[in-house]
Amino acid sequence: MTWRQRIFLCFLWLSFVGLWYRVYWVTTAPDVTNAITYLSSVISSYSILVTIWILHNIAIFKRKGPRTNVRMLQFTMTHDQLRSYISARTDLKTAQAIAVSIVDGRKTFSEQVTQPTEGILAPS
């Protein structure tokens, strides 16, 4: 650590202590009680909300039982958000690595055979 870094670090610590000293003298008792009341009410509200959410999920579990499988969503999209045509040459649900490329203006998804980091990095 250079001497400039040490001086800067000492300046930061002195500023930290000085500002907390200022907070100590500027803060009044009503400020502290208002802050404690506000924080207590926020924590209590959040705790009540989380408890209600947990009880809601438990009620759903009791009504429907445990999940037995994952919902299957059908992917029938032919165009992306930019209205480019999508051509999928692999099963997008089961492929481990997918390469996305644009060929003749079509976004093409194909299974990537190489390792995910190979071929991505530019030569230096």
**Contact residues for 98 (Cβ-Cβ < 8 A; gap 6+):** 90, 92, 109, 110, 111, 112
Are residues 58 and 78 located together in one domain of the fold? no
* Region of residue 74 (left: phi > 0; alpha: psi -120 to 50; beta: else): beta
Name the residue range of residue 31's domain: 3-64
Query: In this structure, are 97 and 51 located in the same domain?
Result: no
Tell me the whole-structure pTM to 2 decimals.
0.45
β-sheet with 106-111: strand ranges across: 85-88, 106-111, 98-103
For the segment 54-104, what is each residue's pLDDT rounded down to a tens digit? 999 999 999 999 888 877 766 566 767 777 777 766 676 777 777 778 777
Asked if residue 121 belongs to a domain, the reply is: no
